[in-house]
Amino acid sequence: MESSSPSATSVPDEREVRRAALVDRRQRLTDALALAPYDLILYLERAVVYSDLAYPDLAAGDAYRALLLTDEVLNEGFEYHEQAKGSLETHSTNPYPKVLDHGNLLANIKNTTDGEDGDGSEPYRQLATTASVRCFQILSLSLLLCGCLASASDFVEKGLKILPGNKELLEIKGYIEQVARRRLRLKPDEPIDFHDLPDTGAVRREIYPWNTYEPDRFSEESLSFLNGQLETMAPKCAVKVSCLPVLLEGESNTDEYEIIPTCNQLGLFAKEDIAPGEAVLKEYSLLTANNRHKESTCDACGTELPPLKMQTEAVNCPECYDTVFCDEFCFSQANEQYHPAVCDKDVDSIAKDPEAKDVAESLYLLLLARLLAMSNHQEVHPLALKEIKYIWGDFVPTQLNDIDLSVNAGPPPEWTLPFSFKYNIEIPLHVLEKMDIDIFETLPQHDLWVFNTAYSKFRGTASARKGLRDGRPEVAAVHPFWCLANHDCDPNVTWEWGGRMTLFARETRVVGNRPGGIKAGEEILNHYCDVDLPVKDRREWAQGALGGWCMCRRCRDEAAAANGSD
């Protein structure tokens, strides 16, 4: 009989109890924001909770929304001025809200305003100015913790312009300089060129404890939904659980091992025999993006349009003439699924023709913009849209991400979601504003954690196509069923993306030149890299999409053979 000793019963430790209390407080503040969406103090309070929970990115997101609301309060002509001012006036100015009583802030503000002759110092204006400095403090420290030094530095300077002697801001400025020196490898006396500061970092990639949209991908319900959808696009395939090698970060001595650790994920499997050369899956997706401004691709499916003279079936939207679709089908699908949300709204020029360093980020952002347009037009939460709901997000368990942060260290290696102020916070909100969406009223659909979750799913599943002009990625798309197929360096399919994403059974296999074709029960094995390359190059190429060093049979055999011959 099993006995239960006191140590066997799970007593939550102090850290867990504190964490649960903070998650609970976050929920109460989120509920309060649903009732008072223009209340900048609530945003600041939630930002502090996010900081305490070690989500500096989410803290920065809330502090930025609070900062936008301070602008609304201070500028009478702004769209939400009345609502933001009204909400702020519900808070006391004596004493000030607790969230503003931080370090020397209130004393500094008092000293600065005591010398003034009362001009413009209506209580709510003073409160808004004080709150803006608190926003700059949270923004600069949080962005520093995420590794976004240029934005952190920008916000610290903006805060210091209002309160030049503020001790907390000066301290943060000092930390930014320390980290900048380390990241730029500067000697202590070398000057820092602030234009050189890195501005991308990493944040936690996880299913947030409050995310109720993530399905159990292995449940009967999910699998039967996915298989129902698959019926028309891949009638000979089924989605099933697949046992995959656990991927390592780089080279290891396990290539020769017979048994390696595995994990369960989803994959595509043949239900019936598939002949060599036969189409395995044909998928149409509107979750596409194009980062060239006036480009000749279909706005809906991303197909390259034929030269103008030859266009016979192409359709221009009669309302916003510049938007072109390859045919009536794409035009009607776009109108059903997303186009009215962006039609004639001047969203088109955002993030187009980016600098070389921003090409990939711009495509991910434009995929997010398309998702938001679909969500807005269809009135479905972005994470509930079937185009991304079931997608693999390469999430790291919350417990592994929950580590102490140090201002001098930068983001820990467990944090794997690339992050920048510009692409995760600023531009997505700008896109929504262009779409005439009130970003405050629609917080549940447009909270930063929602954007981060969508980004987690796009990275690792989106495919991109290079432009003919300069070979840079120009068009990207997410095909939620195509991306269920796992990788192998001896693939049994190959793929082609025109208007549809198509998987074909290979005529011959790479290893041993065996005949192609797929037998019922076999897994559909796609390729995420050029399989004609040598093993080391393949592993390096596939690493981004796979999330680690490829451990397929072919890679392990070839690497072990190469090691043996060294």
Ligand X SMILES: C[S@@+](CC[C@H](N)C(=O)[O-])C[C@H]1O[C@@H](n2cnc3c(N)ncnc32)[C@H](O)[C@@H]1O
Residues that bind ligand X (CB under 6 A): 244-245, 247, 265-267, 392, 394, 460-461, 483-484, 486-488, 546-547, 551-552
Q: CB-wise, 165 or 257, nearer to ligand X?
A: 257
- The encoded tokens of residue 392 equal 């693999």
Spatial separation of the C-alpha atoms in residues 203 and 142, rounded to whole Å: 11
Instruction: Give min distance, CB of 266 to ligand X, in A.
Output: 4
At 189, phi and psi to the nearest 5?
-95, 0
Q: CB-wise, 156 or 485, nearer to ligand X?
A: 485
Spatial separation of the C-alpha atoms in residues 105 and 86, rounded to whole Å: 24
* Cα dihedral 417, 420, 425, 427 sign: negative
- The encoded tokens of residue 501 equal 């994403």
At 115, phi and psi to the nearest 5?
-75, -15
Instruction: Give min distance, CB of 391 to ligand X, in A.
Output: 7
Cβ proximity of 285 and 387 under 8 Å: yes
Cβ proximity of 476 and 367 under 8 Å: yes
Instruction: Give min distance, CB of 458 to ligand X, in A.
Output: 11
Instruction: Give min distance, CB of 552 to ligand X, in A.
Output: 5
Spatial separation of the C-alpha atoms in residues 265 and 484, rounded to whole Å: 9
Instruction: Give min distance, CB of 205 to ligand X, in A.
Output: 11
* Cα dihedral 277, 281, 282, 283 sign: negative
Query: How far, in whole angstroms, is CA 203 from its chain's centroid?
Result: 10
Instruction: Give min distance, CB of 235 to ligand X, in A.
Output: 20
Find, among 131, 136, 105, the residue nearest to 38 by Cα: 131
Q: Which residues, in sequence order, are bridge partners of residue 219?
A: none
Instruction: Give min distance, CB of 330 to ligand X, in A.
Output: 25
Instruction: Give min distance, CB of 538 to ligand X, in A.
Output: 11
Instruction: Give min distance, CB of 210 to ligand X, in A.
Output: 23
* Cα dihedral 536, 540, 545, 549 sign: positive
Q: CB-wise, 460 or 467, nearer to ligand X?
A: 460
How far apart are the two ends of the chain, measured CA to CA in Å?
A: 55
Q: CB-wise, 130 or 456, nearer to ligand X?
A: 456
Q: CB-wise, 374 or 484, nearer to ligand X?
A: 484
Using CA atoms in the order 314, 320, 322, 327, what is the torsion angle rounded to 10 degrees?
-10
Q: CB-wise, 159 or 267, nearer to ligand X?
A: 267
Name the pairing type of β-strands 486-487 and 493-497: unpaired
Spatial separation of the C-alpha atoms in residues 198 and 421, rounded to whole Å: 12
Q: CB-wise, 259 or 468, nearer to ligand X?
A: 259
Other beta carbons within 10 angstroms of residue 389's beta carbon come to: 20
Q: CB-wise, 338 or 390, nearer to ligand X?
A: 390
Q: CB-wise, 159 or 393, nearer to ligand X?
A: 393
CA angle (253 as vertex; 251, 254 as ends), nearest 5 = 100
Instruction: Give min distance, CB of 472 to ligand X, in A.
Output: 23
Q: Which residues, in sequence order, are bridge partners of residue 201?
A: 419
Whether the bond into 261 is cis, omega within 30 of 0:
no
